[in-house]
Structures are given as C-alpha cells and as structure tokens.
Structure 1
Amino acid sequence: MKKKLLKLGMFSMALAMTVGLTACGGGEKEQSAASGGDSGKKGSQKLVIYTARDKNVVEQILPKFEELNPDIDVEVMTMGAQQIMERVRGEKANPQADFWWGGTQSSFITAANEGLLESYKPSYADSIPAEYKDAQDRWYGEMLLPEVIMYNSEAVKKEDAPKDWDDLLDPKWKDKILIRGVMASGTMRTIYDAMIYRQDPANPEKGYEWLKKLDANTKEYTQDPTQLYLKLARQEGTLSLWNLQDILLQKELQKQPFDYIYPASGAPILVDGVGIVKGAKNMDAAKKFFDFIFDKDQLKEKADKLFQIPTRTDIDKNEFPDWYKNLDTKQLDLDWMVLADKEKEWMQYWDENIKGKGGK
C-alpha cells in the first residue's frame, strides 16, 4: 500500500505543482492515478476501487482498511464521478472495478436503473434514512455534501462575499468567478441542475437564462479541481461554487486562503454514495470495504479529520466535532428523481448553447 500511495502522491504533486491536491468527494476530479500497480504485497484477494474521493481521504482510509485486511490487495483509480459513471457503463459486459466510492445520488440512481450495481443490504441499513439510499439496496449514501459559495478570503471580505445564489449574477463579479469544468464533474452538474430546478423545473428556459448570466460573470472553466484551487489561490478569480468538505480540507489541511458562504436560501445537499459494481470479480472484498467505511468509529474520525457529514443516524451528534454540531444545513427543495432524469438533457443544452457564450 505504501508504494501505491507513493505513486499516487508523486503523480498528484506533479500535476498540481504547488497545490498538491486533487479534489474530492464528493468530490470530484479528473483521472489522477491508475491502479496502484505492484504494491509489494500480494494478498490472497484483490479489490479494485474507482473513486472520486479527495487524495487526503484515500490516503487516510485505505491504510487502515489494509491493516485490518492484510489478505486484500487494494488497487485504486481516481477520477471524476461522471467519468466513473461512464467507465462503469462502458465496462458493463466485463467489469474491471469492484467498488464505486464517491458520486452523486443522480449518478447512482442512473447506474442502478441501468443495472450497473449489485444489491447489498448491510446490517446497519435501518440507520440510514430512505432518502439517502436505494430502495433495492443497490447504493447507499456515505455522507452529505452541501454545495456552497467558495471565495478567496484574502481577496474578498466575508461581509462582501455573495450571500445567496442570485448575488453571483451581480455585474461586479464579472470575470471574478472560476468554475471547475462542469461536464466531467458530478458536483458541478448537480449545482447547475439545482440552479435550473430552483427557477422552474417545468420550464428549464428560466434556469438556462440564469446560467447564461452566470456564464457572463465566469472567467474560466478549469480543467480539474487542482487547477481551480491553484487559480483561486493566485487570485486569477476570487469566487467559485464547490462542496463544503473540499473547501474545508483545503482551508484547514492545506492552509489555502479559502472560505465559504452557506447560501441564505439553502444549498443543494448531495448524498455522496457508494456501491458495489454489478458482476464484481471480488465481491467478498467489496463487501468488507463497504462495511468498513460505514463503521461508526470510522465515521466519527472522518467527521473530525476529513469534515465529512455522515448519513448514519444512530450516532450521537455530541460525539462529533464542533464544526459539524454548529453547522446549519438548510436544504434547497429539490426532487432528486427529476434531477436524475433531466440531468443529461439539461447539461447537454448548457454545454452546447450556454458555456462560454458570455451571456449572449
């Protein structure tokens, strides 16, 4: 595992230059590492994971899992959640992954409907609310990810930052907004879908008009989260839209000059999920990893060190850190089944008719 993580880390550092991070969870990033290769440890079992998790999360969790399961040889491939969706779909006839770790509920709903995920009901299933899991146990939400407004705290004072979504359309923010490339990112697709839905889900034209105005203020769509962080830190732009966990990871662990505003009208709160790939070649190992990441002690540690909001409801909130206990997670009123159904249509229209048109 050490060799694999070293390879992943070296690749990421080369890609990110001084930032040294790819993005999360669910976050979301371009493919940043192939499978770990020869780890020097030949377990009797193998586990292949496709993940959209932040490198910090992967490097904290996998060594603990391998320590408890020395007979399992873990290989990891990191990419954006939408890219995982496309890859699992393309490999349906001959699955190459066993476990899908990190992605939006819209992606998992689509994957389940396409027969890409195995049904697995864990022992703690009843502790996870129905809205955070599949009715047929084909995917479960591991954590909640509020999508918020991100800003460079050295360039923008908190009192001057946008307080709600519509504030982003103010002309004073023209060429100040940086957006992670939307089409490859489950996070960004969800935010943009939510912006369309909040205008009028029955008439997407109103949402398209909103996104045209946002596009007019957008300076650049960055290739991946690493470039987003780099350019935001350099003040090539001062605002963005991103998930709360990754912002806190960057702020607290990487000491980046980033902070966030929780939108006054509420945020789209992603259910960041996991699932076992249909026809997985290493089913037993996949189930072990599934149960490991939902272990109560692991969830509390991830909340403390990795700023994760768990979906399990059978843990006393007083056992969690202050940042979580004090968080007001007001949600936008969204119908996730509608978002899953309309995502492809809405995002294709945005990509072909709005992106880079400058609001024209």
Structure 2
Amino acid sequence: MGLKPKWSLIWATMLAVGLTTGCMASTSDGDSADKDGLEEKVVIYSPHGKDILQDFEKQFEKKHPHVDVEWLDIGSQEILDRVRSEKANPQADLWWGAPSVMFEQAREEGLLQPYQPGYADALPKEFRAADWSWTGTSQTPEVIMYNTREIPKGEVPRDWDDLLDPKWKDRIIIRYPLASGTMRTIYSAMIYRDYKESNRPEKGYEWLKKLDANTKEYSANPEMMYSKVARGEGALTIWNMPDTVMLKETKNYPFDFVIPESGTPVLTEGIALVKGGKHPEAAKAFYEFVNSEQAMKHLAETYYRIPTREDIQGLPAWIAETRIKSMDLDWKLLQEKENEWMDHWDQKIKNGAKQKEE
C-alpha cells in the first residue's frame, strides 16, 4: 500500500493503541488549533494515489500552514473495511475517493457524518446522498486499457465480450478485484447485464470464469498493474479512463483506451467525513478545498477528472468532446448484491478456483 513516507511503519500497531503520528505539537487536551481555528492535522484515507495526494497535501498545507495533512493510500474496499473496523475509535477524519456504492454502504452502517458543503447548490441530486453523508466529486468512465506497443490499434478489443477471446490468454493483468472499488463495480456490472432480465447471476459468473481463464495475474495495487502492462508483461487490462489518459500524458506510458461499444459503468467518485473523526474542522476545510472551483479545474487539467459540479468553467476540451455510452445499472441492486457476487468470484472462480483446488 502507498503509505505516506513520514508515517511510521508501525502504523497498524499505533492505530490499535490509539497513538498519533507525525510532528504534531500537543496541548493539554491533545490537539491545538491553527490561526484559522483548525486542528493541527487531518487524517485522510484515499485510493487516489500518491501523485494527487502529495499535490493536494502541499496545496492545502500552503493555505493552512499549521495543519499537517496525513494520508493513507489504499484501495477503496480496504478503506471501507478499515473504517468499519475503527468505528469505535475512528482514526481517519476524511474518506476521499471511492465509488458511490461504497459510500452508500458506509452511510447505511452509520459510518459517515453528514455535511452539506458550501457549493451544494452547484451539485445535482444524483451526485450526493439524500442526507449529505457523502457527495460526488467526479465521474469516472471505465475502459479497456491497452499497451500500444503490444497491440495494434486495429486489434484492440472493442467491447467487453471481446476480452474472452482465447487469443488474450495470459495477456490480461487485472487489479485484484476484492480490494478495488473500480474492479468490484466492473465485475458486478458484467453480472448485472443478464441478471436484470433473469434475476440469476449464473451467466455473469460464466463470463467471469472466461475472463479469469485469460487473466495472467491479479495485481495487489494499481501501480504494479500499470508497471506490468507498461513493460509488456501483460498487454491489456480493464481500468478507468482518467488514469489511463493521465499515465499516457504525464508518465509517457504506452497506454491508450477503448470505451466499450455496448456501454460502460460510469462511477461517481465520492468524499465524506468519517463519523467520530478527531479533527472535524480540519476535515471540513480539506473537503471544501479539494472541491473548490480552482481544485476542480486543476483535477480536470492535471489528473483528468470529470467534475460533478455544474458551475465549473473553462474545463479541458476533452471533457466536453468525449462521448461515453453509460451502461444502465441499478446501483442500489449492485450495492445489495456486490458482496455476494464477489464472494462467489473469490471462492469459486478466481485462478480457476485455484485450479479446482489442485
């Protein structure tokens, strides 16, 4: 996992005993306030990756020099599991980034603190919880990402079912689905395609078995997946459009993408305050900061995020010009069924069900 360098390697132990990390100056009550009335740190759980997290850490700390931003870069599912396990003694103040279905699960379990941000009027209702437990920050289309050095453009899979062609055997590398909100949603969407008519998941399971047969490995984190596909250890994967474009343009990775012709899941990425977080005022300030007009433009221009706010002007042309066919999904049903479906994948499908228990 991408743990911020200044955090100790004994993070898990420190969490368990309720200690703090970083260079925070203590006062008699355990926290002190900066000149803006904010606590001296804010703890963030996020799957956004070190580039975005380091960038916004620096920006926020420049504006609030007495607030220390501490972050843990882990997968969306890992965040949800961690917030659940820490319910009695929350260690995070803010959860930044994950599909909305995961925030809905957390909301239903009473893990989030409702908060109506200052830009509420610019946010359509479909991009937030009814009680403001979470709000959407960006929209993320899922795509087929491929190595342009390994696959000629004319031979790239054009749709989801093309990934099942035997010619792709051992050429697909996938982010380990159980730890990734993105992959859990894609897999659930593949099952839902038939489930919406039959109310049965079996055809979807068969589809995932065929994909598993073509999958060379499941990477423990996105960076490992990117590296292996870039080196040609695999030729393609399924991931999201913003990261694909960002890696291509900022890191010169030989990546491009195809938007599946039949339609693709378009996730709403969210943000939320963790209920019981120890630094609520600093968390609210960071929440507002990363969703400000300036931040939304920066995220779009630098990190290829498509904002949910309707009032952002001067966005890059690619956002206005990209045409995406959104897959029609019942998000509430996916939320209800996701764990059941993913447990089946883990126990009955993954790695040929461990080569049928060898």
Answer yes or no: same fold by TM over 0.5: yes
What residue number does 2:172 align with?
A: 177
Instruction: Indicate the RMSD between aligned Cα atoms, in angstroms.
Output: 2.2
Residues 162-311 of structure 1: pairs in structure 2 closer than 5 A: 162-201=157-196, 202-311=199-308
Aligned-partner Cα distance in 1 for 2:239–2:296? 22
Q: 1:200 is paired with a residue of what secondary structure? A: helix
**Kept after mapping to 2: 8 A contact 1:5/1:36:** no
Q: 1:357 is paired with a residue of what secondary structure? A: helix
What residue number does 1:24 align with?
A: none
Aligned-partner Cα distance in 1 for 2:275–2:224? 34
Q: 2:350 is paired with a residue of what secondary structure? A: coil
Q: Percent identity?
A: 48
Which of 84-93 and 213-222 deviates more?
213-222
Aligned-partner Cα distance in 2 for 1:110–1:5? 27
The aligned amino acid for 1:239 is: L
Aligned-partner Cα distance in 2 for 1:326–1:154? 26
Q: 2:248 is paired with a residue of what secondary structure? A: helix
Which of 70-79 and 188-197 deviates more?
70-79
**Kept after mapping to 1: 8 A contact 2:46/2:95:** yes
Task: Choose from 316, 332, 338 the match for 2:333.
Answer: 338
**Kept after mapping to 2: 8 A contact 1:36/1:76:** no
* Change over 3 Å in CA distance of 1:139–1:40 after alignment to 2: closer
Residues 1-360 of structure 1: pairs in structure 2 closer than 5 A: 7=6, 37-39=21-23, 44=33, 45=39, 46-201=41-196, 202-316=199-313, 319-357=314-352
1:283 CA drift (Å): 0.9
Aligned length: 332
1:322 CA drift (Å): 2.0
What residue number does 2:36 align with?
A: none
Structure 1, unmatched stretches of 5+, are 12-30
1:40 CA drift (Å): 7.9
Q: 2:80 is paired with a residue of what secondary structure? A: helix
Aligned-partner Cα distance in 2 for 1:186–1:340? 11
What residue number does 1:27 align with?
A: none
**Kept after mapping to 1: 8 A contact 2:145/2:238:** yes
The aligned amino acid for 1:227 is: M
The aligned amino acid for 1:320 is: L
The aligned amino acid for 2:255 is: F
Displaced runs of 4+ in structure 1, greater than 2 A?
4-8, 34-44
The aligned amino acid for 1:310 is: P
Aligned-partner Cα distance in 1 for 2:179–2:215? 18
